[in-house]
Chains A and B, each alone.
Chain A
Amino acid sequence: MSVIAPKFKFSEFVKSILDNLFWAILLLSLIGIPLTQIILFYIEMPVINGELLTPFLALTWIADPSRTLPIIKAFMTTDLFRIAAFPGFGFAALLAAGTIFVERKMLAKLQLRVGPFYCGKIEGILQLMGDGLKLISKEIIIPAKADKPIFWAAPVIFVGAAAAFVALIPVAPGWVVADVDVGLLAVFAVIGFFPIITILSSWSANSKFPFIGGIRALHQMVSFEIPLILSLLGVVILTGTLNLSEIAASQSSFPWIIFLPIGAIVFFITMLAELERIPFDLPEAESEIVAGWLTEFSGMMYGLVQLGTYLKLYAFAALFVVLFLGGWNGPMIWPPFPEEIITKGIEAGPITVMIPGLPVFSQEMINGVIWFVLKTVGVIFFILLPRGVFPRIRIDMLLSLGWYKLIGLAFVNIFIALGLLYAGVLGPGGIL
């Protein structure tokens, strides 16, 4: 007998499976189907075979599986899907979770350790889930003299602001949650909102170390916002638009980092400072001010702030990709969808299966997403790398770097962009 299950009985095993099956079917029929109905009620239904799909007709996919794909495609065109799943929150959260895993394992390899190892059998891949469960199950402690409404709201607003940032990022042609014409201005607006959340949360905690951390974060973010905005002006000058999708589309033949390397470097450094990553993690410097503005957060409030931080990290890396590395543009590496499956169907022996609604995603979209993800992961890697190499810098060095050096370099970058524009090399009507 094995040690793990000393009293194993096959009948009980079968009984437990049947129990689970019973509850699954009961819950699905009581909650799942009504919920699906309600969701379908709010979705604009497609026209299939000449008849408008209704929520009741939509459920016919259970009897006729060939109706599944059109319904899924109809669902994918809705705003709900865009916000919750693909270019929006779900996709970003998935990449953020991957970032946390890669950060832990990469740093561990760099520092001659193993990193997460046991949770999830394969290289500790479920460690993050375990941490999340731990944070959810912990007690949330609010300081007695805290300003409670603001203190409660701060982590939620932080995640909300990070998600708003994510919503502005175009992932593939046409795949963006909010395709606004002043997208870059909206990005600046969202970035400008983060210091307010930080100072509010740290002040409302009514504690000394969070207060010092919040003041530091305020100094850092405000002084690095100016070089950040200035470093992106070069791209705006050359493209003549603020729409992020158009900026990404304008780099179909070459990315802007070739012509504006100084702007890219300045943006990368300011990005590290805005993200509070080492060497600029002064607001969370643990040996000086415990955990900075996060000191009083406990349980899932801390978890939410961490989620927001990594969403923000993804959003900044994606912004770097969109502005300087060409966004989704790249050589076509995804094979085209075989046409004969659409026209002739799949021949499986004697029967031929016709699947309407194929292909689900277009070739350009999949290719764009692959390039976008590859570039974003590369940028995230370079954001993570300094953590293993650099110590933390001091607040006066940080401010002098931001105000003297980076602003100067950002202006040099603007002059380069203007020179390229007036020489007629690049920009609207340029020869390249």
Chain B
Amino acid sequence: MTAELPPGLALQKVDERIMTLNVGPQHPGSGHMRIIVQIDGDFIVACDPDPGYVHRGEEKMAEYRNYITNIPHLERPVIHDSCNVLYPYVLGAEELLGIEVPERAKYIRVIASELNRCIYTMYWLAIYGIFLGHSTMFMWPAGDREFLIDLMEKMSGARVTHAHFVPGGVRNDLPPNFEDVCLRQVNYFEKRIKEYGAVFYDNPILISRTEKTGVLSRQDAIRLGTTGSVLRASGVDYDLRKKEPYDVYDELDFQTNVLKEGDSYARSKVPWLDMMESCRIIRHALEKMPKSGSVRVKLKPNPKGAIDSVYKRVESGRGSLGCYIVSDKKPEPYRVKLSVGSFRNLIALPYLLKGEKLGNMPSVYWSLNYWPVEADR
């Protein structure tokens, strides 16, 4: 048996000094994926992220359901950010079905998607805290995101998986006096997240641990195709809410947060700054929103899309999230393809971890704003 093995199957020459670690999928510091790490002493020589443990076939499932019944399952990849994950699909379906959305519905969508961005980022921040051994930073965000979850429950009826966006608007109108409750909760939430600065972001140990680790330069960030907070932490001013405004983002007053350092600290700080910006957006949107009016266009039963394809993308909690829909004049879409920010950001992981210490692995990995379930879809 001396047949030539193909290159992928050939046995690797193993250096005695190199130890291979399987970090995941049952490791507390990996999420639903595996990172194969090769270490020489305390230094990481090579790193091979291996996602795919939570693949659910969302894209194939979407081909067997019509435009409306696709809604509840397409938000499953990131249930904490379910409005944002559904947003590009709804925008695309509206274009295919030729629907004009009422003005009030657009504002409600913006509020819901910003609330969801905060909910997702709080969850992400909680895990970032526990990855660095900071258990208070696990409990505080996990508790404070309840305020916003309560708001979303008032708005949509469900705590996490809202299924609130539908082609043609949103499912329900806002409940009475939602604006007052929302304003109060968001103001308190903003006060709370400013306190995180004192306990977490200004902590000298955290700064000395994450500064200048996993540095992603501006050129590399663009070349590797990262998006969202990772890209903005590397000094690229790129936010789809500004660059390609959808719904009413062009009428709202906000700014993007850009940091130049490109290290783990900057990458962890950008989502936190984005949350404060989200609070501003929500307040401004509540002010400008039409006080009454329709929130949903009535659709025909089993609407059929035109023979066309459409690609829409939005800025989700993890960066640009695109949805490509091909329609062939049937009630079901011919093909739905999700292009997610998590997977794009994960590509940077092997480049960032090479030469880093093993202790930096959790902070660099999670600062990439990666959600394993979304990457697998």
Contacts and interface: CB of A to CB of B under 8 A. Distances in A.
B136 A110 contact: yes
B199 A394 contact: no
A302 to B, nearest CB: 16
A388 B129 CA distance: 11
B224 interface: no
Interface string A260-301: 000000000000000000110110011111100000000000
Given A111-B140, A113-B139, A212-B358, A391 B28 contact: no
Nearest to A282: B359
A215 B314 CA distance: 47
B135 interface: yes
Given A390-B203, A393-B209, A394-B357, A287 B29 contact: yes
A395 interface: yes
A19 interface: no
B362 A287 contact: yes
A390 B205 contact: yes
B206 interface: yes
A208 B21 CA distance: 7
B42 interface: yes
A291 to B, nearest CB: 8
A387 B135 contact: yes
Contacts of A393: 205, 208-209
A287 B131 contact: yes
A396 interface: yes
Interface in B118-139: 129-139
A209 B199 CA distance: 30
A5 interface: no
Given A111-B140, A112-B143, A288 B361 contact: yes
A389 B29 contact: no
Nearest to B213: A394
A111 to B, nearest CB: 4
Nearest to A209: B21
A281 B42 contact: no
Contact of B205 (A111, A279, A395): A279
Contacts of B139: 111-113
Contacts of B358: 212, 288-289
A144 interface: no
Contacts of A395: 42, 357, 359
B132 A391 contact: yes
Interface in B191-223: 199-200, 203, 205-206, 208-209
A288 B130 CA distance: 11
Interface in A387-410: 387-397
A135 interface: no
A287 B200 CA distance: 18
A195 B302 CA distance: 70
Contacts of B131: 287
Interface string A150-184: 00000000000000000000000000000000000
Contacts of A279: 133, 205
Interface in B130-182: 130-140, 143
A73 B21 CA distance: 59
A395 B134 CA distance: 16
Contact of A288 (B136, B208, B362): B362
A51 B131 CA distance: 69
Nearest to A211: B19
Given A278-B133, A287-B362, A391 B357 contact: no
Contacts of B27: 290
Contacts of A110: 136
A74 B20 CA distance: 61
A381 B220 CA distance: 47
B339 interface: no
A102 to B, nearest CB: 16
Nearest to B138: A111
B360 interface: yes
B167 to A, nearest CB: 40
Contacts of A389: 136, 199, 203
Interface string B335-377: 0000000000000000000000111111000000000000000
Contacts of B42: 395-396
Contacts of B134: 390-392
A93 interface: no
B130 to A, nearest CB: 7
Interface in B22-51: 27-29, 42
A391 B27 CA distance: 19
A390 B359 CA distance: 16
Nearest to B144: A112
Given A286-B29, A290-B28, A396 B357 contact: yes
B316 to A, nearest CB: 25
A222 to B, nearest CB: 16
B133 A285 contact: yes
B135 A107 contact: yes
B211 to A, nearest CB: 11
A144 to B, nearest CB: 17
Contacts of B205: 279, 390-391, 393
Contact of B133 (A111, A208, A391): A391
A392 B138 CA distance: 13
Contacts of B28: 286-287, 290
A208 B358 CA distance: 13
Interface string A358-376: 0000000000000000000
A24 B134 CA distance: 50
A388 B362 contact: no
Given A279-B205, A286-B28, A288-B359, A388 B132 contact: no
Contacts of B137: 391
Interface in A308-344: none
A17 B205 CA distance: 59
Contacts of B206: 391
Given A111-B140, A397-B209, A388 B29 contact: no
B19 A288 contact: no
Given A212-B358, A288-B361, A392 B132 contact: yes
A112 to B, nearest CB: 5
B136 A111 contact: yes
Contacts of B203: 389-391
B311 to A, nearest CB: 37
A38 B285 CA distance: 83
Nearest to B132: A391
A279 B358 CA distance: 17
Contacts of A391: 129, 132-134, 137, 200, 203, 205-206, 209
B359 A394 contact: yes
A387 B136 CA distance: 8
A390 B132 CA distance: 9
A389 to B, nearest CB: 7
Contacts of A289: 358
Nearest to B209: A394
Contacts of A107: 135
Closest 8 CB pairs of A and B: A392-B133, A287-B29, A111-B139, A391-B134, A391-B132, A287-B362, A394-B359, A287-B131
16 contacts: A113-B139, A282-B359, A286-B29, A289-B358, A290-B27, A389-B199, A390-B133, A391-B200, A391-B203, A392-B134, A393-B208, A393-B209, A394-B357, A394-B359, A394-B360, A395-B357
